[in-house]
Amino acid sequence: MTIEFSVSKRQLEMREAIRGLTKNVIRPQSLAWDRAHGVPEDFLRNFAQLATSMGSSAMRSGLGEEKGQQEKTGGNVGTIMASEEIAWGDAGLLLCLPGPGLGGPPVRGSGTDEQKERFFGIFKDMSGPLRWGAYGLTEPGAGSDVAGIRTSCRKDGDYWALSGRKCYITNGARASWTVIFATIDPALGRAGHRAFVVEKGTPGFSVGRIEEKMGLRASETAELVLEDCRVPAANLLGGEEKYQTKEGFMTAMKTFDNTRPIVAAMALGIGRAAFEYATDFVRSNYALQRHTPRYAAIAERLARIGRNLHAARMMTWRAAFMADQGMPNAKEASMSKAMGGQAAIRACIEAIEVCGAEGTIAKDHQLLEKWFRDIKVYDIFEGTGQIQRIVISKRIMTDLRAF
């Protein structure tokens, strides 16, 4: 078991650079983006170009870098560190950055060389129109229960015909292509699943409603509709031979091993923002050095928030480190997601309680109210907290050496 891992000087320098950017540029615009339900494209373009010059994969939304790129971008650990810092400024921004987004890992992990070149190639030109990729798994009746997807696919000559609905798809309406999961027969469970790259403009592929959300309002979340959508056989992710065994689907599902720690890091960014806000509020309004039960209780609450966030961060960094080393990290990825989401949610709840009425009513405190709205989804998407605990328990029960 690997216990030690280190953070490089380059990764620390990158984190400090992003921290300054988020404090001075992103955080001041966060409320305006929330109210406008979007980030201006000029800002996204400039930010993406800056990210390219800084070499941050998180800022370029290029999740799950190839090994040859890790030294340049900081790998998964660098992505985790950058994700927390950007989410500290505005979590919605990270979700709407141009690039392959959550669609990147399955294409990178399962796609053929030709598919990687074709689908990633559109993101190389930063001077042209902004482009996004998306990831379409969730359905009205199947989210965390992946085996329950009902979007159908059937082979029809040189095409596959897809029919079904996908919901809560980040950047779904503006994506140039979306990785869509479908099944040849629901009775087959995961053995019947197939993953396709469906390109915008494909006949039978349309956008349904754009969701009105409680939090993360700056990001776009859409419903996608497939009605006898004819997708070229060349867009079956990995080619048909991949699906002769479970390898094709399981490789695509490894997306979660990369993205769950990123989601955890984003949650920790929001939780840390609320924790720091509450701490500053208490320092300005209370004299905690007074030995009274009330002040001791407040100090204990802040200490509990801080240590829970720190513990979750260490778990998240370890999951990312294992991915960079090519080590299986499904259990650790689920642990980081479960711990990060819960620690951040508690941080936001406790921060509001510590600040009292001023935390939600006073105009100067509206960021705290926004973080409270934003954080809830981090215990839901990329697999609910309940699902993470099931994954963790299964791993423990099947491997007595898990600890």
Contact 340, 332 (CB under 8 A): no
Are 215 and 157 in contact by the 8 Å Cβ rule? The answer is no
Orientation angle between helical segments 293-324 and 75-95, nearest 10 degrees? 120
What single-letter amino acid sits at 273? A
What positions carry a catalytic annotation?
382
- Given phi > 0 = left and psi -120 to 50 = alpha, else beta, which region is 59? alpha
Cα end-to-end span (Å), the chain: 9
Distances (CA, A) of 4 to 7, 107, 305, 311, 318: 10, 31, 25, 15, 9
Distance CA 99, CA 266 (A): 18
Quickly count: other Cβ atoms within 10 Å of residue 150's Cβ: 14
